[in-house]
Amino acid sequence: MAASPGRITHVLPVHAPKGDASEDVRATPKFVRLRHEISQLIRARRGTGHLQVAHAA
């Protein structure tokens, strides 16, 4: 979302696994890629970095 006024700038599909509750989803490669993509989008909106998004699979 953009800061002011709040508006959606990107829509990212998130496919959360419905598996073992003991599995740490944050350790999965898909989660890591998605977290990186979100970080890149935030940095690009702040103007502090060059947008280089690796889309989550």
The answer to whether 40 and 53 are in contact (CB under 8 A) is yes
How confident is the model at residue 53, as a pLDDT? 55
The answer to whether 45 and 38 are in contact (CB under 8 A) is no
Closest CA to 30 of 51, 15, 10, 43: 15
CA torsion sign, 36 to 13 to 42 to 26?
negative
pLDDT confidence band for 36 (50 / 70 / 90): very high
How confident is the model at residue 52, as a pLDDT? 53
